[in-house]
């Protein structure tokens, strides 16, 4: 593709993302699948530009509004070329029109905008904190409440692209074997500092063509999620429930911890999402999993399973604020009403899942959120309403399940797991382990 054609595709894709309620990565995948004539290098260039604009959206829009220009896919692209790439108006004009299929010649309004942005920096001292941090203004008090003095650093870390974390599938091999297999294909992976099962690649990439992935030796999973699976302490022969299993990432990790022995049930309310786990389970060599689609968190089947599980994992639907490095569009699709609905749902799911836990068993609650109302306060509210459960302190559990397997020292002083991108180099992640008396 010519430079002009690439920029035209960027504008088209940004427009589609803006018009759809689904996640940006789904929209991008459908867009590129429908245009198979776009080569691998061009796909990467288009994706990098689109995701970069999504990561810089608040700052780009601040500049556009400052110059009296409405934020659109085209104006955001022009501003990004000027502010992030620091290109001159003339160079941008030439790039826009390069090739037969292009993004169109600059208009007088385009030229006026680019002249105003010429030589400017993406950051400006007048920008409010929410613009510099790239998050919705209404979240400011909630983030301050949750993060305190670390807020600016954590939001800055969430602006950046996340590395690719891999979990070693111990049903197929160990970390040394996986590291060697990746190296044989030219991928130099580093061991994750906290998880004894993790390897880290420095940048976003497609792994589906790699032999280690196709053989089921590695799975893509953030280090925080790997640690959660270990902290569940699911052992061979146990009865374990993954209550909000989704596409099965944590189910796979639990199955490996159980060495394929015991009963592992993966539940979800979305049948299509649950179906995605089938291929992953087969590739990983997992055969102790039963999948079940629930009508809701209060499905009658749940009541019939009361008190039958040693471990019940509730990786609850949440704001996803801890994953904004990977999903920068998600923050702009979140609303105050949506957050309120999520916190209410989390409470209902936790209360329903608690029925499944046998005496002496454990209920593990987790989110990929940085917000206290989805994390600590959910646990506090649950414990206040359920006297038969108590919170297990994190450090001893960590020593038994993580450090004993070769992982790093516990990063948290309190009784709950709280991980963040700036401090821990993981996604924002929360977990609490509750035991039934």
- Using pLDDT thresholds of 50, 70 and 90, give the confidence band for residue 103: confident
Phi, psi of 300 (to 5 degrees): -60, -30
pLDDT score, position 1: 87
Percent of the chain having pLDDT more than 90?
88
Are β-strands 357-367 and 429-436 bridged in parallel, bridged antiparallel, or unpaired? antiparallel
Are 363 and 384 within one domain?
yes
- Domain end position, chosen among 220, 236, 260: 220
Domain with residue 369: its CATH number is 3.40.50.150
- Using pLDDT thresholds of 50, 70 and 90, give the confidence band for residue 305: very high
Are 385 and 269 within one domain?
yes
Domains identified in the chain, total number: 3
Q: At what angle do helices 223-231 and 394-401 cross, to 10 degrees?
A: 100
In a domain, 156, yes or no: no
pLDDT score, position 141: 96
Are 295 and 397 within one domain?
yes
* Contact of 142 with 117, CB cutoff 8 Å: no
In a domain, 375, yes or no: yes
In a domain, 186, yes or no: yes
d(C-alpha 201, C-alpha 218), whole Å: 12
d(C-alpha 70, C-alpha 64), whole Å: 6
pLDDT score, position 204: 73
Are 213 and 230 within one domain?
no
* Contact of 229 with 402, CB cutoff 8 Å: no
The mean pLDDT value for 183-193 works out to 94
In a domain, 134, yes or no: no
pLDDT score, position 428: 96
Average pLDDT, the chain: 94
Greater pLDDT, 222 or 1? 222
| 100 pLDDT higher than 80 | no
The mean pLDDT value for 228-244 works out to 97
Residue with tokens 């305190």: 148
Domain with residue 67: its CATH number is 1.10.940
In a domain, 149, yes or no: no
Range of the domain at 183: 164-220
pLDDT score, position 297: 87
Are 267 and 204 within one domain?
no
Task: Please choose, from the candidates 145, 138, 162, the residue with its C-alpha nearest in 3D space to the C-alpha of residue 58.
Answer: 138
The mean pLDDT value for 212-231 works out to 95
d(C-alpha 28, C-alpha 35), whole Å: 11
pLDDT score, position 155: 97
d(C-alpha 389, C-alpha 379), whole Å: 11
Task: Please choose, from the candidates 223, 239, 256, the residue with its C-alpha nearest in 3D space to the C-alpha of residue 423.
Answer: 223
- Domain end position, chosen among 197, 220, 243: 220
What angle is formed at CA 377 by the lines to CA 435 and CA 144, rounded to 5 degrees?
140
d(C-alpha 353, C-alpha 376), whole Å: 18
Are 339 and 248 within one domain?
yes
For the record, the structure tokens of 101 come out as 């299929």
In a domain, 256, yes or no: yes
Active site residue 69: no
| 206 pLDDT higher than 80 | no
Domain with residue 177: its CATH number is 3.30.70.1170
- Using pLDDT thresholds of 50, 70 and 90, give the confidence band for residue 224: very high
**Cα separation of the two ends of the chain:** 64
- 80 to 12, 147, 203, 279, 314: CA distances (angstroms): 16, 30, 21, 39, 40
Are 215 and 265 within one domain?
no
d(C-alpha 106, C-alpha 98), whole Å: 12
| 209 pLDDT higher than 90 | no
Are 356 and 229 within one domain?
yes
Task: Please choose, from the candidates 208, 189, 198, 195, the residue with its C-alpha nearest in 3D space to the C-alpha of residue 169.
Answer: 198
Are 26 and 88 within one domain?
yes
Residues 69, 257, 318, 368: which is the catalytic one? 368
Instruction: Give tens-digit pLDDT for 323-371.
Output: 999 999 999 999 999 999 999 999 999 999 999 999 999 999 999 999 9
d(C-alpha 366, C-alpha 430), whole Å: 5
In a domain, 148, yes or no: no
Q: Quick one: three-class SS letters along the chain?
A: CCHHHHHHHHHHHHHHHHHCCCCHHHHHHHHHHCCCCCCHHHHHHHHHHHHHHHHCHHHHHHHHHHCCCCCCHHHHHHHHHHHCCCCCHHHHHHHHCCCCCCCCCCCHHHHHHHHHHCCCCCCCCCCCHHHHHCCCHHHHHHHHHHHHHHHHHHHHHHHCCCCEEEEECCCCCCHHHHHHHHHHCCCCCEECCCCCCEEEECCCCCCCCCHHHHCCCEEECCHHHHHHHHHCCCCCCCEEEECCCCCCHHHHHHHHHCCCCCEEEEEECCHHHHHCHHHHHHHHCCCCEEEEECCCCCCHHHHHCCCCEEEEEEECCCCCHHHCCCCCCHHHHCCHHHHHHHHHHHHHHHHHHHCCEEEEEEEEEEECCCCCCCCHHHHHHHHHHCCCEEECCHHHHHHHHCHHHCCCCCCCCCCCEEECHHHHCCCCEEEEEEEEC
Are 269 and 393 within one domain?
yes
| 179 pLDDT higher than 80 | yes
Q: Hey, CA dihedral for 401, 231, 201, 35, is it positive or negative?
A: positive
The mean pLDDT value for 312-331 works out to 96
Are 108 and 198 within one domain?
no
d(C-alpha 424, C-alpha 206), whole Å: 24
The mean pLDDT value for 102-116 works out to 91
| 61 pLDDT higher than 80 | yes
In a domain, 155, yes or no: no
Instruction: Give tens-digit pLDDT for 118-165.
Output: 999 999 999 999 999 999 999 999 999 999 999 999 999 999 999 999
- Using pLDDT thresholds of 50, 70 and 90, give the confidence band for residue 104: confident
Are 334 and 285 within one domain?
yes
- 23: Cβ–Cβ under 8 A, 6 or more apart, which residues? 327, 329, 330
- Domain end position, chosen among 185, 201, 220: 220
Instruction: Give tens-digit pLDDT for 265-297.
Output: 999 988 888 788 888 999 999 999 999 999 888
* Contact of 356 with 406, CB cutoff 8 Å: no
């Amino acid at each position: 593709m010519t430079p002009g054609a690439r920029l035209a595709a960027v504008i088209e894709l940004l427009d589609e993302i803006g018009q759809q309620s689904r996640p940006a990565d789904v929209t991008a995948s459908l867009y590129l699948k429908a245009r198979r004539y776009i080569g691998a290098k061009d796909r990467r260039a288009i994706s990098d530009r689109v995701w970069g604009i999504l990561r810089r959206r608040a700052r780009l829009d601040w500049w556009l509004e400052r110059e009296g220009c409405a934020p659109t896919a085209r104006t955001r692209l022009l501003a990004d070329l000027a502010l992030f790439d620091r290109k001159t108006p003339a160079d941008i004009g030439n790039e826009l029109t390069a090739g037969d299929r292009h993004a169109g010649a600059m208009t007088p309004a385009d030229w006026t905008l680019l002249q105003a942005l010429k030589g400017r920096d993406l950051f400006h001292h007048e920008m409010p904190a929410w613009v510099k941090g790239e998050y919705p203004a209404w979240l400011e008090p909630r983030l301050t409440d949750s993060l305190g003095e670390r807020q600016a650093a954590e939001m800055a870390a969430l602006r950046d692209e996340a590395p690719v974390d891999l979990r070693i599938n111990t049903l197929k091999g160990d970390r040394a074997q996986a590291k060697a297999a990746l190296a044989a294909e030219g991928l130099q992976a580093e061991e994750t500092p906290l998880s004894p099962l993790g390897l880290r690649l420095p940048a976003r990439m497609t792994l589906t063509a790699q032999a280690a992935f196709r053989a089921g030796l590695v799975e893509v999973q953030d280090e925080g999620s790997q640690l959660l699976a270990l902290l569940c302490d699911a052992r061979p022969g146990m009865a374990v429930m993954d209550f909000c299993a989704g596409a099965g990432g944590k189910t796979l990790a639990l199955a490996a911890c159980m060495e394929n022995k015991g009963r592992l049930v993966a539940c979800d309310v979305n049948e299509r999402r649950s179906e995605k786990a089938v291929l992953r389970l087969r590739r990983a060599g997992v055969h102790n999993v039963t999948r079940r689609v629930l009508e809701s968190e209060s499905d009658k089947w749940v009541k019939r399973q009361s008190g039958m599980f040693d471990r019940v994992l509730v990786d609850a639907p949440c704001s996803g604020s801890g994953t904004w490095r990977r999903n920068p569009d998600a923050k702009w699709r979140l609303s105050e009403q949506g957050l309120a609905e999520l916190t209410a749902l989390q409470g209902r799911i936790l209360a329903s899942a608690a029925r499944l836990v046998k005496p002496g068993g454990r209920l593990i609650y987790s989110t990929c959120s940085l917000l206290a109302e989805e994390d600590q306060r959910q646990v506090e509210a649950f414990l206040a309403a359920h006297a038969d459960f108590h919170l297990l302190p994190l450090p001893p559990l960590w020593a038994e399940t993580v450090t004993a397997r070769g992982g790093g020292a516990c990063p948290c002083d309190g009784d709950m797991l709280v991980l963040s991108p700036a401090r821990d180099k993981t996604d924002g992640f929360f977990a609490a382990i509750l035991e039934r008396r």
